[in-house]
Chains A and B, each alone.
Chain A
Amino acid sequence: GAVVSQHPSRVICKSGTSVKIECRSLDFQATTMFWYRQFPKQSLMLMATSNEGSKATYEQGVEKDKFLINHASLTLSTLTVTSAHPEDSSFYICSGQASNSPLHFGNGTRLTVT
């Protein structure tokens, strides 16, 4: 079945630094990728939608300059958390979708900002 690989699974960084999270579709072409964020004991909240080759569309309240999303190819999307702060600590999950197909989720990345 279709697989989405997300890396790293866990990262700890210092406040003020930037962190990049990669999301790869391994055996399908993800024309659209979604990035979600999940706080402890809360639901997944959509942060942004990215289509290959175009700018990401961010949900209301999500700072596009802080959460940089790149979807340069049909198999790779990246989320960079810039100038991270402790409040950015969360679980970030990506999902990929080929045209008119179900979503396939990555394993998630646990980000801890100290």
Chain B
Amino acid sequence: AQRVTQPEKLLSVFKGAPVELKCNYSYSGSPELFWYVQYSRQRLQLLLRHISRESIKGFTADLNKGETSFHLKKPFAQEEDSAMYYCALASGNTGKLIFGQGTTLQVKP
């Protein structure tokens, strides 16, 4: 079964601390994974995708096929990073996304 799991509902850190938002997936084929972010009162927007292997706003995520994980990391959290983060898996070539439950990141001053 295709599934995305984000084990933490809430992650609270202090400004400047490292952040890791966990994401594990279950998929039989070659996965395409994404991280989406939703800031307060804003729409869901793409943060990064594993294909691009890029760093956006200091965040990176590496696909680990052995561990079936796609954890999102940032070495030094900022208050403006406080938001809801969703890990998502693209199902085949249909464009359909399967979302994890989401993790609220709270960065305290």
Contact = CB atoms under 8 A, between A and B. Distances in A.
Interface of A: 4, 32, 34, 36, 41-46, 49, 93, 95, 97, 102-103, 105-108
Top 7 A-B pairs ranked by shortest CB distance? A105-B44, A44-B99, A107-B43, A43-B99, A43-B101, A105-B43, A97-B95
A65 B4 CA distance: 29
B55 interface: no
Contact of B86 (A44, A95, A106, A108): A44
Contacts of A32: 95
Given A43-B86, A44-B86, A102-B49, A108 B99 contact: no
A106 B43 contact: yes
A103 B46 contact: yes
A93 B86 CA distance: 14
A103 B99 contact: no
A96 to B, nearest CB: 10
- Counting contact residues on chain B (CB < 8 A from A), the size range is 10 to 19
A43 B95 contact: no
A98 to B, nearest CB: 10
Contacts, number: 40
Contacts of B42: 107
A46 B49 CA distance: 19
Given A43-B101, A44-B86, A93 B95 contact: no
B101 to A, nearest CB: 5
Tell which of B86, B94, B95, B96 has the most Cβ of chain A within 10 Å: B95
A106 B44 CA distance: 8
Nearest to A46: B96
Interface string B94-108: 111111111000000
B94 A49 contact: yes
B45 A49 contact: no
Interface in B53-109: 86, 94-102
Contacts of B49: 102
Tell which of A32, A34, A43, A102 has the most Cβ of chain B within 10 Å: A43
Contact of A34 (B86, B95, B101): B95
